[in-house]
Amino acid sequence: MLGDVSGPSTRILRLLSLLQSGRGVAGAELARRLGVSTRTLRRDLDRLRELGYPVVADRGPGGRYRLVAGAALPPLMLGDDEAVVTVLGLRLASAAELGATTGAAQAALRTIERVLPDRLRQRVAAVSATIDAVGRPPGSVSLDAVAALASAAYHHLDVRFRYTTRAGTDQLRRAEPYRLVLFGRRWYLLGHDRDRDGWRTFRLDRMVGLTVPGTTFRPRPVPAAGAVPFVAAAGTPPGRQRGVVRFAAPVATVADRLPAEAGELVAVDESSCRYTTPADSWEWLASMLALVGVPYTVESPPELIEHTRRLAARLAAAAGDAPAS
* Distances from the Cα of 69 to the Cα of 21, 63, 108, 111, 163, angstroms: 13, 19, 15, 11, 40
Backbone angles phi, psi at 112, to 5 degrees: -70, -45
Supply the range of the domain harboring residue 280.
242-318
- Of 20-24, 114-118, 136-140, 315-319, which has the strongest mean pLDDT? 315-319
Q: Are strands 159-164 and 207-211 parallel, antiparallel or unpaired?
A: antiparallel
What would the pLDDT profile of 277-316 be if each residue is shown by its tens digit?
877 678 888 988 998 999 999 999 999 999 999 999 998 8
Q: Is 211 within the bounds of a domain?
A: yes
What would the pLDDT profile of 117-147 be if each residue is shown by its tens digit?
777 888 877 877 787 765 555 556 777 888 8
pTM: 0.52
Q: How many domains does the chain have?
A: 3
302 and 203 co-located in one domain = no
In DSSP terms, 300 is beta-bridged to 244
Q: Is 12 within the bounds of a domain?
A: yes
214 and 246 co-located in one domain = no
270 and 300 co-located in one domain = yes
Residue type, 135: G
Q: Sign of torsion, CA 14 19 24 27?
A: positive
For range 43-51, the mean pLDDT: 86
Give the per-residue pLDDT at 219.
94
For range 177-197, the mean pLDDT: 87
174 and 212 co-located in one domain = yes
Q: Is 145 within the bounds of a domain?
A: yes
* Distances from the Cα of 196 to the Cα of 52, 109, 176, 179, 313, angstroms: 51, 38, 12, 18, 51
Give the per-residue pLDDT at 98.
40
Last residue of a domain, one of 164, 194, 224: 224
Q: Average model confidence (pLDDT) for the chain? A: 80
Q: Return the minimum-mean-pLDDT range out of 32-41, 251-260, 288-297.
A: 251-260
* Distances from the Cα of 111 to the Cα of 34, 68, 207, angstroms: 21, 11, 34
Please list, in sequence order, all residues whose beta carbon lies within 8 angstroms of the beta carbon of residue 240, skipping any fewer than 6 positions away.
278
216 and 264 co-located in one domain = no
